[in-house]
Amino acid sequence: MSSNPCNGCAKSGSCSDTEKQRCEKDQQQQQLQQRLAGIRQRILVMSGKGGVGKSTTAVNLALALARQGKRVGLLDIDLHGPSVPTLLGLEGRRPAVEDGCMVPIDTQGLKVISIGFLTQTADDALIWRGPMKTGVIQQFLRDVQWGELDYLVVDCPPGTGDEPLSIVQLLGTTSSGAVLVTTPQKVALVDVRKSVTFCRQLKLPVYGIVENMSGFVCPKCNEVIDIFKKGGGRQMAADMQVPFLGAVPVDPRMVEAGDAGTPLVTVEDSPTAAALRDIAQELQLRCSNPAAGTASLED
């Protein structure tokens, strides 16, 4: 979608390939900065491993922020598992293209772009090697016209490999921070510790830890029952000296809501929805002052 920077340049015929590549890279970086200029805060939702509810958390936090009166964009760049179209009922939709840029789809108060919008069917697999993934991530970030936003919530690929690294490097660490999603089990906590270290090495602020699947909402009485192990995320946050944003119990209605494209945060009487709304409020405080404190925000 990007134009050739050599077009119209009087020196294009005398430049070496290296100079042309450097010029093109500079232009791409300038375009990226122009696209991001209207975004006040970038929230990268990350996890140490898959299967902890990262995408569900990203969607519900984005919608909770929008319902609190904020201008919110949601970028799903989980290349191998883009769940946002399903969670928001947007399967089969395609973003419009204007002036060479993708225009986010407006839904439920959000501006949404997903890598899933670009595949032919939901069954298509992206079988790409690292360099191709990096190039796609760069183009995907550069060629979306977000406009003015208070928050851009980014659903990142899990882990600490090439893809999350590219996203952090391209978005930068100024006005950016990470929300790390885990479950109480030891195997997930071990991996999210690595995510904390990853963020620290890249100097990306950690806005906080979310402990997902913490307790179970009884479908009969709507009370939270501790049938699972819980508290591991809070303890890990204390050990690693990062904020603890909150615990989110499992609500059986979450499965139905996700399949129906209606995020659970919209269900007023759900303890899970209430927890997500509280986390969104705490997250706004953390975004405004990411360096404030290291202990749990609930303590």
Does the annotation place 51 within a ligand binding site? yes
- Indicate the SS3 state at residue 243: coil
Q: For helices 271-288 and 54-67, what crossing angle results, to 10°?
A: 80
Report d(CA 8, CA 100) in Å as an integer: 18
Query: Exposed, middle or buried by CB within 10 Å (0-12, 13-18, 19+), for 175?
Result: middle
Does the annotation place 53 within a ligand binding site? yes
Tokens representing 139 are: 């183009």
Closest alpha carbon to 78 in 148, 126, 27: 126
Amino acid sitting at position 135: G
How many CA atoms does the CB half-sphere of 235 hold within 13 Å?
Answer: 10
Does the annotation place 52 within a ligand binding site? yes
Buried b (16+ CB within 10 A) or exposed e, 12-43: eeeeeeeebeebeeebbeebbeebbeebebbb
Does the annotation place 100 within a ligand binding site? no
Tokens representing 254 are: 């979450």
Does the annotation place 232 within a ligand binding site? no
Does the annotation place 55 within a ligand binding site? yes
Instruction: Extract the annotated binding site for ATP.
Output: 48-55
Instruction: Extract the annotated binding site.
Output: 48-55
